[in-house]
Structure formats: C-alpha cells, structure tokens
C-alpha cells in the first residue's frame, strides 16, 4: 500500500487589517511562511482510522468522512509547538487531510475542505502558506457574515489571497520562543476575539489600510528588507492596540519586554509578536543573522526568561508531498 508523507512549514501572523464591525471587510490576515520548523505527517490506507495522537486521530476521521474512504493509519513524525503563534493547528489539520487524500489517490482540495477541517475561519494565511508559501495578504470576510457571532463551524469559505510576494533568498527571520504560557486557542481565543471585535476602534483599521498599501506591499514587491521590516513592525504594533485589554498590553508578557530590547538592535528590523504569542520575530539577513541571534539571547537573559532562538529562512513553496 502507498505510504504518503506530507510536510508543511510554520507561519508568522503579523496581524489583521480590520477588526471593527463598522468596516465592510473583517479580519484580512497578513503573514509570512517560514521554511522551518515543520509539521510532518504520514498516512496509508487502512480499514479504520488509526493514530496514536488524539488530535490527529480526530482530523483523520474528518478527512476520511470528507473523502468518502474507510480509514487511514496516520503517524506524526514532527509537529510545530502548539499555541505559540506559528500556526500549528492549521498545518497539522491540512497535512493530515492531504496525506490521507493522496494515500487514497484522491484530490485533497485543501482550500475547499479547510473549513470542514475547522480551519480558515478568520485568517486565510495558514491555508495560503500550506498552498504556496511566501508573503501573504488575504482578503478577509464580509463583515455582515462575521459579526460577534461567527457562522457555524465550517460554514465559511477560506479568504481569497489578495496579494502574494516571494520572500527574497537573502532574508532571514529571527524567531524567539520564550518559555511562557502558551497563547490563546479554542473557546478562549473565540471569546477574546469576540470581545476585541465588539469594541475595536475603526480608526486603527484606517491606519492599517494606509500602511498596507503605501508601505508594506510596495516593500514586499520590491524586496526592500528595511522598509518591509519597518512596515510589519508597525502593522503588528497597531494590531496590539486592539488586543491590549485582552493580553495585558500591546504585546503579551514576556513578548513585550523582548520586543523592547530587540527594537534597538541594528541587525534586526520589524520586531513583533506572532498571533497571540508568545513567539517573537524579527527580520534580518544572512550576513547579520549571527548578530541578531546573539542579541535575542541577550534579550532573553535581560528579561530573565529561558527560551529557544532560531534563525530561519522564509519559504516560497507550499507543503511537500512524498509518495513512497
């Protein structure tokens, strides 16, 4: 029987274009696909669903039902750390769907089926990263459908990709994962987002729209590292103003302390918090990467926090599928 291996990468979520109900489009994610760390899942046909991981077992069951197949034996080789801001849930769900589909010689149709896998309900960045990587901006959802009470699970379409640009080969991303309480997810995240949306200041969305069109997208299209870094740093800071009451500040502790330390480092631009954190990122290049990594270690020490520091490349490719 064919055994299929699907590997997909992490993503950074810089923020949303709008969280105010007074604007026509809600959400609209902006993010970047990383070459690593990665989620890797293998699957082969089976008479029933078999997986030692409870979450993946559930994803595999949904996938088999969607595909109209009896079952699959699924294993998780590697997985992203959960709920730290790297998009672990989406990559795990979609990798499982794709592995089960290809093992049964079916078309995964990931974008269409992602809502049934409970993915793409707000941001479309994770789905687009799985498909093609790169710098991604999605179109968001019509506000009249995504009020403070969003549609039932699966009753949506994944936001269309509004813009995608390749990540220059020389760019590197500083990734700092402090040892801290994981970010919000599930019902807690839904409740927090609902609270934010109910009182979101629409003027922030107007600032973000100008920043996106006048600075972020031109810098991405032209591959200007410093300008792109400055744009995503400001984009993330403005997003944090929406979340301040929910996470204890523009950035959640200890991300705020690390970001303050790293903003003054010459080798790093565009420092921010990915999603709910605690992951902190910055933009550098291959030549300045060693200095950036040392500065991140010093920032952790200064904050009195342990953690992992990595320098990773971006990726302009989607998930890989290996049929053995």
Task: Tell me the per-residue pLDDT of 229-246, one tens digit each, with 9 for 90 and over.
Answer: 999 999 999 999 999 988
Task: Tell me the per-residue pLDDT of 23-56, one tens digit each, with 9 for 90 and over.
Answer: 999 999 999 999 999 999 999 999 999 999 999 9
Both tokens of 92, joined, read 């795990």
Instruction: Tell me how far apart the alpha carbons of residues 188 and 206 are, in angstroms, rounded to a whole number.
Output: 28
Read off the pTM. Answer: 0.95
What superfamily would CATH give domain 4-323? GHMP kinase, C-terminal domain (3.30.70.890)
Task: Tell me the per-residue pLDDT of 124-143, one tens digit each, with 9 for 90 and over.
Answer: 999 999 999 999 999 999 99
In 3-state terms, what secondary structure has residue 179? coil
Instruction: Tell me how far apart the alpha carbons of residues 239 and 26 are, in angstroms, rounded to a whole number.
Output: 13
Q: Work out the average pLDDT over 66-70.
A: 98
Closest CA to 135 of 201, 222, 204: 222
> Percent of the chain, pLDDT > 90?
88
Closest CA to 314 of 232, 256, 202: 232
Helix axes 125-132, 88-103, angle to 10 degrees: 50
pLDDT band for position 152 (cuts 50, 70, 90): confident
Helix axes 54-67, 88-103, angle to 10 degrees: 50
Rg of the Cα atoms in the chain: 19
Instruction: Tell me how far apart the alpha carbons of residues 172 and 312 are, in angstroms, rounded to a whole number.
Output: 6
Ordered by start, the domain boundaries in the chain are 4-323
| Least-confidence region, from 67-76, 138-147, 187-196, 213-222 | 187-196
């Amino acid at each position: 029987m064919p055994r299929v291996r699907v590997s997909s990468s992490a993503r950074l979520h810089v923020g949303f274009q709008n969280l105010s109900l007074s604007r026509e489009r809600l959400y609209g994610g902006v993010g970047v696909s990383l070459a690593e760390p990665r989620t890797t899942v293998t699957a082969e046909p089976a008479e029933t669903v078999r997986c030692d991981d409870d979450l993946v077992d559930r994803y595999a069951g949904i996938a088999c039902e969607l595909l109209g197949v009896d079952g699959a034996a699924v294993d998780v080789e590697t997985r992203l750390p959960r709920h730290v801001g790297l998009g672990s849930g989406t990559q795990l769900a979609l990798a499982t769907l794709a592995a089960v589909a290809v093992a049964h010689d079916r078309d995964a149709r990931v974008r269409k089926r992602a809502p049934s896998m409970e993915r793409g309900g707000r941001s479309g960045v994770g789905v687009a990263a799985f498909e093609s990587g790169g710098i991604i901006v999605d179109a968001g959802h019509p506000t009249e459908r995504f009020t403070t009470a969003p549609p039932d699970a699966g009753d949506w379409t994944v936001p269309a990709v509004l813009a995608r640009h390749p990540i220059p080969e020389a760019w590197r991303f500083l990734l700092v994962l402090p040892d801290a309480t994981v970010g919000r997810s599930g019902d807690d995240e839904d409740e927090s987002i609902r609270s934010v949306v109910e009182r979101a200041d629409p003027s922030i969305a107007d600032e973000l729209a100008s920043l996106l069109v006048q600075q972020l997208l031109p810098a991405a299209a032209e591959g200007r590292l410093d300008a792109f870094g400055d744009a995503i740093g400001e984009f993330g800071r403005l997003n944090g103003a929406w979340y301040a009451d929910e996470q204890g500040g523009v950035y959640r502790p200890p991300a705020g302390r690390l970001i303050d330390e790293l903003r003054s480092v010459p080798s790093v631009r565009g420092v921010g918090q990915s999603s709910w954190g605690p992951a902190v990122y910055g933009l550098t290049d291959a030549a300045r990467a060693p200095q950036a990594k040392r500065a991140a270690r010093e920032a952790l020490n200064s904050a009195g926090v342990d953690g992992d520091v990595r320098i990773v490349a971006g990726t302009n490719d989607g998930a890989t599928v290996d049929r053995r």
